[in-house]
Chains A and B, each alone.
Chain A
Amino acid sequence: MRVKTIAIAAALLLGAGLPTIVQAQSPKTIAGGFDVGPGGFPKNFNPLVATGGFTWLSTYFEPLVIWNAGLTELEGDLAKNYTVSDDQLTYTFKLVKETWHDGKPFTSKDVKFTLELAKNKASGSLLAARLGDIASVDAPDDSTVIVKLSKPNGSFLSILSQVLILPEHALAGMPPESLATSTWWSTNPVGTGPFKFKKYVTDQYVELAADDDYRGGKPKVDVLINRYFENPAAAVAALRAGEIQFTYVETDDAASLKSDANFKVIEGGSYVVNYIGLNQKVDLFKDIKVRQAIMYAIDRNAIIESLYGGAAKPANCGYVAPHFVPEGLEAYAYDPAKAKALLAEAGWNKINGDKPITLLTYYSSPQAANVMAAIQSMLAQVGINVVPRVVDTPTYNGIVYKAGTPDWNEFAMVYAGLQNGPNPAGINPGLNKSQIPPAGFNTMRIEFDDLSAAFDKALGETDASKLDAAWQDVCKVMNKDLPWATLWVANRYGVASNKLKDFIWTPAPGGGPYAAHPETWDIQ
């Protein structure tokens, strides 16, 4: 009896002790909430259907060209260099030497395969439309790829930065239709990046292991983990409990963690312009005086000071980057008296009076709720009665994209954001009359001829020296015609533990991708 008890006790102790023994030899691990926040796309592993989450995807997949960490220019990634022909129709890429995670060599065949797959609607690729200008892809030798376009496209390289190259030898055998539902992505994907896929615990976390023969050098840490969280607050709790070393945080959390010596706050521009969209199919906003009144009624500086802690730039057109903003723009400084006068001139009482107008949004963070409340209050002061309505993403998209004729009153006004950089063409789909659904993304049905003309001119501009001026023209027209009530471009924040060394992160829209060099990240 005695011996039995001792034996049981010993077994229990051993059982309890084993995990500790294993942990003592545990590998160097960095864990983070890489898909937390607006740039993330949790639980998705298929880059062809990704609208975000590129920060994480680019730790094990790589594109041909990639933005640098400052998001100012494109540099080569899998393409060691590239040349563009004078007529801007032919792009020649020279590829690096690299091996796939399963040992096979990376060649131009893989690039040709990936581009054709991404262009092919049958694979469910969401890049198909944007790659529509590709006329042909040739691979004359193993390390050269020549892409010919059917017409010049200034955005082509930045579109390419989101095409992550996939292995031809692994995927060519599968019919494209089956890729959207294939288990390959979440069980054993093969990429070229510094880390290789190890395992995915459904809905909990993804684990990557270092790829020792990566061309940039053996990664300094052995394991990279991406944990999924329900919302940024849960990620912050885990960060403060020491379970992860990095996450995206909301503005309020960033402010409170600034004073914590254990953490470093990373701040960056979001490249998303927040605006109030005015549905052009309802009669309320047809008169420009009404649209101007809305701009004058909202005290953008006060909101930026108090709700964003000053970390946002007011936008008087779709851009805030200095080289796209011309001189002499109307600043629409806060002037409620002027707003009321404009509304009276436009006959607002007859147009709408104080009937409630729905202000729809998909932003569900507490900060966004506060911003909506502030906007509602400011508009109410001049006599515009808006009712904020926060819905989740599928509901929002279901409303604005509804086939046939949607109910315009359900989204008479929206509070939304659109990516306006690093490539300024980003806002074209939201404002150009050629982009009205189902062809495009212009959900507010904006059909301003001079605006569309300005966009078309800038998109087709082949002379690089005239590009900035062309975008400035777009800005001028937006500022005058006010298709949107543009608000601001805010900063976004990430917080990293001070134990991390050489950690690079920037709040790029959609997660980038950008050159984060995960192989250099280290942890004490």
Chain B
Amino acid sequence: MLSFVVRRCATGLLMLVALSLLIFILLRLAPGDPIDAYINPSVPMSVSDLETLRDRLGLDQPLPLQYFGWLHAALSGDFGYSIQRSGVRVLPLVMERIGPTALLMGMGLAIAIVVGVAAGIYSAVRRNAWPDIAMSVLSFIGISSPAFLTALLGLYFFSVLLRWAPSGGMQTAGAPFSVTDVLAHLILPACLLSIGHAALIMRYMRASLLEVLNQDYVRTARAKGVPEFWVVIKHATRNALLPVITLIGSTVGIAIGGAIFLESVFNWPGMGLLLVNAVGTRDYPVIMGATLVIGACVILVNILTDLAYAFVDPRIRVA
């Protein structure tokens, strides 16, 4: 077990370095650099005006030098300064954004898991009855809808029309920090985020449970007179959860960078929004720093999922 974890961490680190190189190359291929992002094309400015600014930011050095300079600093934990935001260091900025993203993801996934698993069990048990069919249709629509459309519609109905929820941001501007304030801002985007995931989890849970309910040991339990409720909850569900766990694991991986539409519509200060803005303004240090942090999280989650797998099913030996 330990050697497995160590090996995976080592490969993980190597992959992060490769990732940073890949992103660096891709970024430099994109037209326009951070200074180009500064210029307002309707305001006259000359190229020579900006050369000094470029010098200040080290953008005139040859590319390999820029990369290795960055790598050297990064290895000692210094990810540099954000170009767009004067004087803000990248690592604290990125870490500051993980919290809100984790909060949104966490809440969204929690809602999705609870709703998805419960709905999945219910559908499997009441198979082919009208609640099952209704929930199947709803879940299909949930999977097939683009995330940003549900976000826009949700924002319009619940915020602009009904004024049940705030229209964006994580806290009320100008108000002192309070947990209820954050929760009030969190609830709408988290619910909208959970729609797609809940639908997927419900389908997997239903299919998996149906397959398990056909197994011999379930039939045996029933024959022994165990009440149906316990058959389903205690025996079947535990085994049916396996594929669902894998699904949740891979969902988390996607989710870390994936709340981008919701964060964009709701101006939620998370990683997704940070990245969109950073790419839009070619803020190289922020993009590199954020990508690495996200990459590290994804690798970590993959390792943890494999460990969870082994924990739930002792037959699985992690290779």
Contact = CB atoms under 8 A, between A and B. Distances in A.
Q: Do chains A and B touch in the complex (CB under 8 A)?
A: yes
Interface of A: 15-16, 18-19, 22-23, 26, 29, 31, 38, 41, 43-46, 49, 51-52, 121-122, 124, 126, 128-129, 177, 180-187, 201-205, 207, 223, 225, 227-230, 234, 237-238, 240-243, 272, 362, 392-401, 403, 416-419, 426, 428-430, 435, 437-441, 509-510
B77 interface: no
B160 A237 contact: yes
A183 B179 contact: no
B306 interface: no
30 contacts: A19-B180, A22-B176, A26-B175, A51-B38, A51-B43, A126-B53, A180-B86, A184-B87, A185-B86, A202-B96, A203-B273, A204-B269, A225-B173, A227-B173, A234-B168, A240-B160, A393-B40, A394-B32, A395-B32, A396-B32, A396-B41, A403-B47, A418-B42, A419-B42, A419-B44, A426-B44, A429-B44, A437-B47, A439-B46, A440-B46
Contacts of A186: 85-88
Could you say which of A128, A229, A398, A400 has the most chain B C-beta atoms within 10 Å of its C-beta? A398
A437 B31 contact: no
A510 B171 CA distance: 29
B46 A129 contact: yes
A279 B170 CA distance: 46
A324 B300 CA distance: 66
B86 A44 contact: yes
B31 A435 contact: no
Given A26-B175, A441-B44, A393 B36 contact: yes
B41 A183 contact: no
Given A401-B36, A419-B44, A440-B44, A237 B87 contact: no
A52 B43 contact: yes
Contacts of B34: 394
A121 B55 CA distance: 11
A153 to B, nearest CB: 15
Query: Which secondary structure dominates where chain A touches chain B?
Result: mixed
A152 B78 CA distance: 49
Given A186-B85, A438-B48, A49 B38 contact: yes
A242 B169 CA distance: 14
Contacts of A439: 46-48
B13 to A, nearest CB: 29
Contacts of B86: 44-46, 180-183, 185-186
Contact of A398 (B36, B51, B93): B36
Contacts of B179: 15
A18 B177 CA distance: 11
Contact of B160 (A241, A397, A430): A241
A23 B175 contact: yes
A43 B86 CA distance: 9
Given A126-B45, A225-B173, A419-B43, 10 more contacts: A52-B43, A128-B49, A128-B52, A182-B86, A185-B87, A204-B170, A392-B280, A439-B48, A509-B42, A509-B43
Interface in B258-305: 264-265, 267, 269, 273-274, 277, 280-282
Contact of A243 (B32, B166, B264): B166
Contacts of B273: 203, 230
A41 to B, nearest CB: 8
Contacts of B175: 19, 22-23, 26
A398 B38 contact: no
Interface string B81-106: 10011111000010010000000000
Query: Which secondary structure dominates where chain B touches chain A?
Result: loop
Contacts of A184: 87
B44 A398 contact: no
A44 B37 CA distance: 12
Could you say which of B50, B156, B167, B179 has the most chain A C-beta atoms within 10 Å of its C-beta? B167
Given A204-B169, A440-B46, A181 B56 contact: yes
Nearest to A401: B47
Contacts of B51: 438
Contacts of A183: 86-88
B163 interface: yes
Contacts of B264: 230
Interface in B23-80: 30-34, 36-53, 56-57
A223 B174 contact: yes
B88 A397 contact: no
The 6 closest A-B pairs by CB, nearest first: A394-B32, A398-B32, A183-B87, A429-B44, A397-B36, A438-B47
A523 to B, nearest CB: 13
B246 interface: no
A51 B43 CA distance: 7
A51 B45 contact: yes
Nearest to B47: A438
A86 to B, nearest CB: 30
A13 B102 CA distance: 27
A441 B52 CA distance: 16
A237 B163 CA distance: 11
Contacts of A435: 44, 46
B53 A49 contact: yes
Interface string B175-208: 1101111000000000000000000000000000
A190 to B, nearest CB: 15
B155 interface: yes
Contacts of B155: 237
Could you say which of A243, A362, A394, A510 has the most chain B C-beta atoms within 10 Å of its C-beta? A394
Given A31-B174, A394-B282, A396-B32, A126 B49 contact: yes
A399 B31 contact: yes
Given A52-B43, A241-B160, A242-B163, A207 B174 contact: yes
A155 B37 CA distance: 27
B239 interface: no
B159 interface: yes
A31 B172 CA distance: 11
A399 B39 CA distance: 13
A439 B175 CA distance: 48
A182 B86 CA distance: 6
B41 A393 contact: yes
Could you say which of B56, B178, B181, B282 has the most chain A C-beta atoms within 10 Å of its C-beta? B56
A31 B265 CA distance: 20
B178 A19 contact: yes
B33 A15 contact: no
A304 B85 CA distance: 38
Given A242-B163, A394-B36, A397-B36, A510 B84 contact: no
A23 B56 CA distance: 44
B276 to A, nearest CB: 8
A395 B56 contact: no
Contacts of B52: 121-122, 124, 128
B163 A241 contact: yes
Contacts of A426: 44
A180 B56 contact: yes
Could you say which of A241, A395, A426, A509 has the most chain B C-beta atoms within 10 Å of its C-beta? A241
Contacts of B174: 26, 29, 31, 205, 207, 223, 225
B98 to A, nearest CB: 13
A240 B163 CA distance: 9
Contacts of B84: 43-44
